[in-house]
Structure 1
């Protein structure tokens, strides 16, 4: 699958992080329109997208959402994902009323401490065969 085609936004996530993997599974389960694609930062496509936007894939400070040449990161990425899932999950995107200067530090703190708080997988999460076409 070509990450540059117009098939929809790509969520680049940490497949070793238990929280991040759970979020990826949540997206696959609730994205009824099949809008999003997923790419692990541990694989070539995800690492390449991080590098394209000047982020070190071995030590990213944020999950990202890439739509063409547009990059969303930090809390904006999370809120865009939930907005794209439709109702009732779209309601989470109402948190955009909270200024980014308040949202992003909380997001970054959680991202920095994700392994300590939620744990780390010994192997990357692998999608079910039914969702394999959505994972780059």
Structure 2
């Protein structure tokens, strides 16, 4: 596995896959690695951090030995992307329960709004090295 932060996402979710493709384009340094929550590597990371391995309602962002979920994960990713994305970081001052309520509403409806795949995404050869095995 590569060094640096790792983003675990719902590999069958069309919305999540779209966000990952967007992040790959935004992460000019290529510092973030990606993996699906359903993958063997993703499951190992979830177990390592004692996180549920059978529900996929939140992205999980692992950085410097710490795990972030839901809106905290989104804000940490924005911090790490830098540039214009750093302007999202002050949203950290919004109470977590408010931020997470919005996150959970989107998570509950993501399949209905965007659909889902039968299997996890297969990255293109040019971005494959940014995915964990």
Q: TM-score under structure 1 normalisation?
A: 0.87
Task: Tell me which of 13, 30, 33 is aligned to 1:34.
Answer: 30
1:43 aligns to 2:35 (yes or no): no
Is 1:17 the counterpart of 2:5 in the alignment?
no
Cα distance, 1:52 vs structure 2: 2.3
Question: Which structure 1 segments of 5+ residues have no match?
Answer: none
C-alpha distance in structure 1 between counterparts of 2:84 and 2:119, whole Å: 32
1:81 aligns with 2:83: no
CA distance in 1, matches of 2:49, 2:69: 10
1:112 shift after superposition? 2.6
Structure 1 position 59, deviation (Å) = 1.4
Cα deviation per residue 1:10-31 (whole Å; 9 max; x = unaligned)?
Answer: 0000111011101111111110
- Structure 2 regions of 5+ residues with no counterpart? none
1:122 to partner: Cα distance: 2.3
- 2:113 maps to what in 1? 117
The secondary structure found in structure 2 opposite 1:11 is strand
1:68 Cα offset (Å): 4.0
Moved beyond 6 Å, runs of 4+: none
TM-score (structure 2 length as normaliser): 0.89
The residue that corresponds to 2:60 in the other structure is 64
- Deviation, 1:101, is 1.9
Residues matched between the structures, number = 132
